[in-house]
Amino acid sequence: MNGVPLAGFIGLSMFMFITGVVGVIIRRNPIVIFMCIELMLNAVNLAFLAFARYKFSGLANVNQGAAGQMMVVFVMAVAAAEVAVGLGIIMAIYRLKENIDVDELNLLKG
Amino acid sequence: MKITPDMIVFAMLAGMAALSAVGVVAFRNAVRSALCLVFTFFLLGFLYFALNMEMLGITQIVVYTGAIMVLFLFVIMLLNLGASHVLEEKSDPKKVIGIGFGVSLAVLLASQIVPVLIKVNAPTAPEGFGSPQVIGNVLFTDYVFPFEAVSILLLLGIVGSVLLAKRRLS
């Protein structure tokens, strides 16, 4: 993608991140909230890769420049683990309460 | 600034990704949100290809649209949340506050980053920068310790999710 300014990629990343933040605030379905968290993680991945590609000059070798890509690999792995455990928790809550509206879940209230 | 064909392709991909990201939040039905998210992840995979990150583009499509979204859809079907009457979203002040917060965050961030980054329009990374060879080489030399740590984390994730799904909470 020659000629596309870095601001294009970062702007898209910013928009997706903010959409995720707004979704986490306004939605009440925990599964959709999880999806919005995934959206935020992906937005950050896009920012990492765009910077890795556009801001390469000045680095000693390719291995040093791959730090952004390594970060993305690890974010993907952690997101997979997080989704597996999080959806397990939602399943357990659903079996306990038959209702997963986040505004109704007040088990931790003292 | 001159309009190049690359720019038009990027604008189409980015516009569709942004629209489907909004769809994730806007749809009331959880299944529709999930399908919008699948579409967003697919387009992000294409954008990674456009950035010459072939390895991560393939990983994005395989891991996110292939594994994570299947898990999401599976849980939605299992909990029978497809019908929107299960979780009727009532109108409340959170919506206005959330959207206002989002808009102000967007203005704040854009005013800081866009003027700086609009000038950077030539990628400086060499060819083959995102190839599987480079990723594998770096992953198993410089980043071998985080790699092993992530493998332990994934093992814990497997055990934890099986435990959570099996046990009866009462």
Inter-chain CB proximity B124 and A94 less than 8 Å: no
ipTM value, please give it.
0.88
Q: How many domains does chain B have?
A: 2
- Return phi, psi of residue A100, to 5°: -120, 25
Query: Same structural domain for residues B51 and B104?
Result: yes
Check whether residue B157 and residue B77 sit in a common domain: no
CB contact under 8 A, B153 and A81: yes
Distance CA A87, CA B75 (A): 7
User: Per-residue pLDDT tens for B13-62?
Assistant: 999 999 999 999 998 888 899 999 999 999 999 999 988 888 999 999 99
Specify whether B110 is located in the same domain as B139: no
> B45, B57 in Cβ contact below 8 A?
yes
Same domain, B36 and B91: yes
Residue B81: the pLDDT is 63
Closest-CA distance, A91 to chain B, in angstroms, reads 7
**What residue ranges define each of the domains in chain A, with the CATH number in brackets?**
6-100 (1.10.287.3510)
Which of B104, B125, B146 marks a domain boundary?
B125
**B41 shares its domain with B69:** yes
B129 vs A28, A45, A65: nearest CB: A65
Please indicate, yes or no, whether residues B83 and B143 belong to a single structural domain of this protein. Answer: no
B85 touches chain A (CB under 8 A): no
A54 and B50: CB-CB below 8 Å?
Answer: no
d(CA B170, CA B165): 13
Is B96 found in the same domain as B58?
A: yes
Residue of chain A whose Cα is closest to the Cα of B157 = A81
- Is 90 exceeded by the pLDDT of residue B162? no
Look at A76 and B101 and tell me if their CB atoms are within 8 Å.
no
Give me A34's structure tokens. 């999880």
On whether both B114 and B144 belong to a single domain, the answer is: no
> Same domain, yes or no, for B121 and B146?
no
Task: Give the A window 36-95 contacts with B, CB below 8 Å.
Answer: 36, 38-39, 42, 45-46, 49-50, 52-57, 62-63, 65-66, 69-70, 72-74, 76-85, 87-92, 94-95
pTM to 2 decimals?
A: 0.89
- Indicate the residue type of B57: G
Domain with B156, as residue range(s), is 131-170
Q: Could you tell me the end-to-end alpha-carbon distance of chain B, in angstroms, rounded to an integer? A: 64
- The pLDDT tens digits for A24-68 are 998 888 889 999 999 999 999 999 999 888 887 767 677 777 888
* B115 shares its domain with B137: no
Please judge whether B24 and A35 are an interchain contact, meaning their C-beta atoms are less than 8 angstroms apart.
yes
**Residue range B93-130, pLDDT digits in tens:** 888 888 999 999 999 998 988 888 877 777 777 777 88
**B74/B23 same-domain check:** yes
The CATH number of the domain holding residue B117 is 1.20.120.1200
Record: contact A31-B81, CB cut-off 8 A: yes
Asked if residue B116 lies in contact with residue B37, where contact means CB atoms within 8 angstroms, the answer is no
